[in-house]
């Protein structure tokens, strides 16, 4: 009898990722593949659990993750769960030092199990944007990833660009490379909503270009131009907001808390003429498909990780790498003047590339494991 069991493991908490790996798991279930999740307990804060989840008591800090990786009791708990069901497929989703330990044990003790790793960010060429601590963390993460790939049968990457970076920087991989854009469940808020904002969504650091966004807000406020802005993030943004002038505060809506619901993000995006992606360094963006799902265009800095999914004057506007406030305002005006055309194109791109019903197009290799073994 064919073993029809799959596991998805996400030991490091990242709030935006739950909808992605749950989407993969639930699509496997639809094909009568028994699917379980071993994930950080922090994901329990996000509701709508599908069942089959084992929440693990894992740390979220870098120091805590290192301690977890030498916790023999935790490792035994995870391995007992896996050995009980002996999955045919094990998919790692989100980097964690424990992934390397688990994959080594699986390769030795459960050689029939096929292992896959989803790499959102295989390599960051310019790590200096992130500050010293984050730079060191990224270097450690990439070191672990280079070690773990030799145990993998499949590497899953979200875009052609990330695949190119992977092939250039990981020479010890002997399995199959799968390109599978992020699958985003269709949670579009239906009905008409007045667009008010130009928004920026997501984590804040030097690489994400939020400083450029705040400079734009200040510039617009000083000139009393008729625009409203919104910033939504779970990051610590105290230092960023100190750069905001008094007039800028009056035209910027801020949503900042540790747990932000998907519905809150969708509400902001739905009320926006466009969402800014001003990253200086990124391999791909999970914000772009969510914006397109909500028929909202993107204003993107001209870097490969963004231009691969933002089609200039079709689903948004590409601005120069060193865009001035006037460049950004010109892009905003172009969006407002063409909002109907751009928003319809954005939705079409979502449906064609990132919607859940594209699952088989990207994941047939994994599906066939359960029919060919």
Structural domains in the chain?
Answer: 5-183+356-372 (3.40.50.2000), 197-353 (3.40.50.2000)
pLDDT tens across 225-245, in order?
999 999 999 889 999 999 999
Is 53 in a helix, a strand, or coil?
strand
Establish how many alpha carbons lie within 13 A of residue 16's alpha carbon, considering only the half-sphere containing its beta carbon.
19
Determine contact, residues 291/299, Cβ cutoff 8 Å: no
- Give the Cα separation of 270 and 128 in Å (integer): 34
Nearest to 105 by CA among 148, 153, 68: 148
- Give the Cα separation of 235 and 259 in Å (integer): 10
Q: If you average pLDDT over residues 330-349, what whole number do you get?
A: 98
Nearest to 202 by CA among 275, 304, 294: 275
pLDDT higher than 70, residue 208: yes
Q: If you average pLDDT over residues 71-84, what whole number do you get?
A: 89
pLDDT band at 126 (very low <50, low <70, confident <90, very high): confident
Q: If you average pLDDT over residues 17-31, what whole number do you get?
A: 91
Q: If you average pLDDT over residues 151-155, what whole number do you get?
A: 96
pLDDT at residue number 1:
46
pTM flag (> 0.85)? yes
Nearest to 356 by CA among 118, 158, 178, 186: 186
């Amino acid at each position: 009898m064919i073993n029809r069991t799959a596991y998805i493991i996400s030991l490091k908490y990242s709030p935006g990722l739950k909808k992605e790996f749950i989407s993969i798991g639930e699509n496997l279930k639809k094909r009568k593949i028994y699917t379980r999740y071993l994930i950080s307990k922090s994901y329990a804060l996000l509701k709508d659990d599908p069942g089959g989840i084992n929440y693990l008591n894992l740390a979220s800090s870098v120091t805590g993750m290192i301690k977890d990786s030498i916790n023999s009791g935790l490792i035994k708990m995870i391995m007992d769960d896996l050995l009980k069901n002996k999955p045919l497929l094990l998919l790692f989703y989100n980097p964690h030092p424990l992934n390397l330990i688990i994959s080594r044990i699986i390769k030795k003790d459960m050689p029939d199990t096929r292992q896959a790793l989803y790499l959102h960010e295989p390599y960051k060429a310019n790590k200096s944007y992130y500050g010293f601590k984050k730079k060191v963390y990224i270097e450690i993460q990439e070191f672990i990833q280079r070690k773990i790939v030799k145990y993998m049968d499949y590497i899953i990457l979200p875009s052609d660009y990330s695949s190119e970076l992977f092939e250039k920087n990981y020479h010890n991989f002997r399995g199959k490379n799968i390109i599978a854009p992020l699958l985003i469940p269709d949670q579009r808020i239906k009905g008409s909503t007045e667009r008010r904002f130009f928004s920026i969504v997501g984590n804040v650091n030097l690489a994400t270009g939020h400083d450029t966004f705040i400079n734009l807000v200040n510039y617009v406020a000083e000139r009393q131009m008729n625009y409203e802005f919104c910033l939504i993030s779970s990051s610590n943004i105290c230092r960023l907001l100190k750069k905001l002038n008094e007039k800028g505060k009056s035209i910027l809506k801020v949503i900042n808390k540790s747990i932000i619901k998907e519905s809150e993000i969708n509400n902001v995006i739905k009320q926006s003429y466009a969402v800014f992606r001003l990253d200086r360094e990124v391999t791909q963006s999970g914000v772009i498909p969510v914006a397109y799902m909500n028929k909202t265009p993107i204003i993107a800095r001209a870097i490969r990780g963004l231009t691969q999914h933002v089609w200039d004057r079709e689903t948004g506007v590409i601005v120069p790498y060193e865009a001035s406030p006037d460049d950004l305002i010109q892009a905003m005006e172009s969006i407002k003047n063409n909002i109907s055309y751009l928003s319809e194109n954005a939705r079409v791109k979502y449906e064609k590339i990132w919607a859940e019903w594209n699952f088989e197009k990207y994941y047939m290799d994994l599906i066939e494991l359960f029919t060919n073994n």
